[in-house]
Amino acid sequence: MRAIPVAAHADDSLTVAMSRFARTSFEQGTSPRVSACEKLRAAAAGERRSGNDWKRLYPRPFPFRIAPMADERIVSVEVTRVTAQTSSQDTDVLAVEEPLEIRVAWELSGEPREKNIAVTMRTPGDDVDLAIGFLFTEALLRSHEEIDSVRHWGSPNVIRVALRPGVKLDAGKLDRHFYTTSSCGVCGKTSIDALRVTACPLPPNPPVIDAAVVHRLPAVLREKQATFHSTGGIHGAAVVDLEGTLIRLREDIGRHNAVDKVIGSLFREGATPLSNTILMVSSRASFELVQKAVVAGIPVLASVGAPSSLAVDLAREFGLTLLGFVRDGRFNVYAGEARVKGEG
């Protein structure tokens, strides 16, 4: 099995497009608050600025502090905690949210081509899994053998997937433009038809899972969600076997990103289709999560929250078992109940 080369990004030099403003502010004795818009503009320009980067630009103390931590997924911020009787200064730990641009490079009739496929708001970490998982679940990739290399491209907020010579891409799919937020996995697609990707119904002879296994899934997910334990504000997606044993888990501030990361990590290893597995998510079950599970060949999707009506329709159409409200010793079966035994 051919391994996919994954190149680490070089340390990108910190450009100072706002240095004049920074210098003026310093000379005037002020320390401007760094806005989310400034960070997004910096990311769009291929820059990534952590709290320490901004402190180098603005040597005087911020009116607030954002402290990067050893784990790039989290930051520590100063907060005021307010109760009915008191308020006090303290620190809190938050999940990081930054944009990631996903680019694809390929050859067409011997000529090199490259295109920005998507921009997604994600929690840094496992970016290679996220990019590959996104391209696979959007049916732009069919096999991990089609990938020549993956690397960050000039910035930790840009990742480039280069395809092997001879790999053909569907031009129509490349014309779809994606902007994915933490809460919306399909924002910006150019038509209703683009919401659906090419996928086949799941095999007619389904694996059977025991209800007792389903009841254990929230604990399996929760136990390994390190970033969630730190922040309380991040989604988890886990692939487990039919006995409930954890195979792989990924976290992200976006539920669809967490799913792309966990599926992408297994797709890279040539493990798809994931026929005898369960996908457990810490969120509601939306249309896009059902779609991603179907593309990956996962027969069962279990969610802590509720499914949407479109998710139920798609699950029934493609033969997926869809479980909702999997928590507190109960769950609902919305589709594919033949796969679940020991109910009641």
Task: Give domain limits for the chain.
Answer: 98-195, 209-341
Per-run averaged pLDDT (10 residues), the chain, 344 residues: 57 31 34 48 49 37 43 88 95 92 92 91 95 93 95 95 90 58 51 57 84 96 82 89 96 94 97 96 94 94 96 93 96 95 72
> In angstroms, what CA-CA distances link 66 with 55, 118, 272?
10, 28, 40
From the list 37, 184, 187, 200, the catalytic residue is 184
Q: What is the DSSP letter of 328?
A: T
Q: Which residues lie across from 330 on neighbouring strands?
A: 327
- The fold for domain 209-341 equals Cytidine Deaminase; domain 2 (3.40.140)
98-195 against 209-341: fold identical:
no
For 98-195, which CATH class?
A: alpha beta
**Residue 184 annotated as catalytic:** yes
Three-state SS for 305-323 is CCECHHHHHHHHHHCCEEE
Report d(CA 264, CA 151) in Å as an integer. 15
Structure token pair of residue 44:
């769009």
Amino acid at 219: A
Exposure class string for 304-321: b at 16+ Cβ within 10 A, else e: bbebbeebbebbeebbbb
Which pTM value belongs to this model? 0.78
Q: Give me the pLDDT at residue 150, please.
A: 96
Q: Are 293 and 324 in contact (CB under 8 A)?
A: no
